[in-house]
Amino acid sequence: MRARMAIAVSQQRCELREVVLAHKPSELLKASPKGTVPVLVLADGTVIDQSIDIMTWALQAHDPEDWLPRTEQDWERTHTWIAHNDGPFKQALDRYKYPHRYALPDGLSQRTEGAEFLKTLNAVLRSQAYLAGQQFGMADAVLAPFVRQFAHTDALWFAQQPWPALQTWLTQFEQSPTYLRTMDKIPAWTAGQPVRVFPLVDS
Ligand SMILES: N[C@@H](CCC(=O)N[C@@H](CS)C(=O)NCC(=O)O)C(=O)O
């Protein structure tokens, strides 16, 4: 999601092959043997197989909404958010969402763990509209899809938490054109099928 959002915002266009993770095409594994998505293959054959690197590549090419952090300090701050999000928070989210996959009776202690991070985000969002500052930026695009998953695991519980700033930020994200245009369900690609172009140009 975050790589797609950055590609759309930066007005890059790419061929998009939607992958079903249970049936990874050999073309994916050939490009990137670690077998995670997203993977971007550039025209010169360079492979970028980390979503943050794809975002950075796209936004460095064109950043009309100023998503990239401006100062070194902003980069550091963004990387700190990302490290916590992609590390401990993602781990807690997976266990909260799918406790049985991890042989847990429930995901409640992981919910408590994740909630600590969300409390921190809420505190930041009380004094500024976005994690990136006064406007939506890379930090918001990176974290919001994960916060969204956490929120929707038990939407009633999330709505009951005393985090109005975070709740408003998430609702705004879910209603944003950038998010909505990356949400379109795309059928899985199989070898030999025509390739889709992303983002689709509005006719
Ligand atoms: N750090 C990587 C993580 C990528 C990742 O774990 N992607 C998941 C899907 S969102 C995946 O491909 N999992 C592989 C699998 O489930 O087999 C990134 O941000 O690109």
pLDDT digits (tens, 9 = 90+) for 85-135: 999 999 999 999 999 999 999 999 999 999 999 999 999 999 999 999 999
Atom 16 of ligand 1, residue of closest alpha carbon: 21
Atom 2, ligand 1: residue with shortest CA distance: 50
21 pocket-lining for ligand 1 (C-beta < 6 Å): yes
Q: Where are the alpha helices (DSSP H) in the chain?
A: 2-9, 26-31, 51-61, 72-84, 90-97, 108-127, 138-153, 155-159, 164-174, 177-182
pLDDT in tens, 63-80: 999 999 999 999 999 999
Distance 36 CA to ligand 1 centre (A): 4
CB of 32 shorter than 6 A to ligand 1: no
CATH topology of domain 72-179: Glutathione S-transferase Yfyf (Class Pi); Chain A, domain 2 (1.20.1050)
Ligand 1 pocket residue status of 51, Cβ below 6 Å: yes
Token pair 């042989």 is found at 103
For ligand 1, whether the C-beta of 124 sits within 6 Å is: no
Domains in the chain: boundaries: 2-65+183-198, 72-179
HSE-up of 177 (CA within 13 Å, CB side)? 4
Residue 152 has pLDDT above 70, yes or no: yes
Average pLDDT taken over every residue of the chain: 96
pTM confidence score = 0.95
Q: Is the pLDDT of residue 203 over 60?
A: no
From the CB of 37, is ligand 1 less than 6 Å away? yes
Pairing of strands 196-198, 47-48: unpaired
Tell me how far apart the alpha carbons of residues 118 and 120 are, in angstroms, rounded to a whole number. 5
Residue 202 is predicted with a pLDDT of 59
Return the CATH fold of 2-65+183-198. Answer: Glutaredoxin (3.40.30)
Q: Is the CB of 36 under 6 A from ligand 1?
A: yes
Whether ligand 1 lies within 6 angstroms of the CB of 178 is answered as no
Mean pLDDT of all residues in 37-46: 98
Mutate to test the pocket of ligand 1, among 19, 24, 37 (most ligand atoms within 8 A of CB): 37
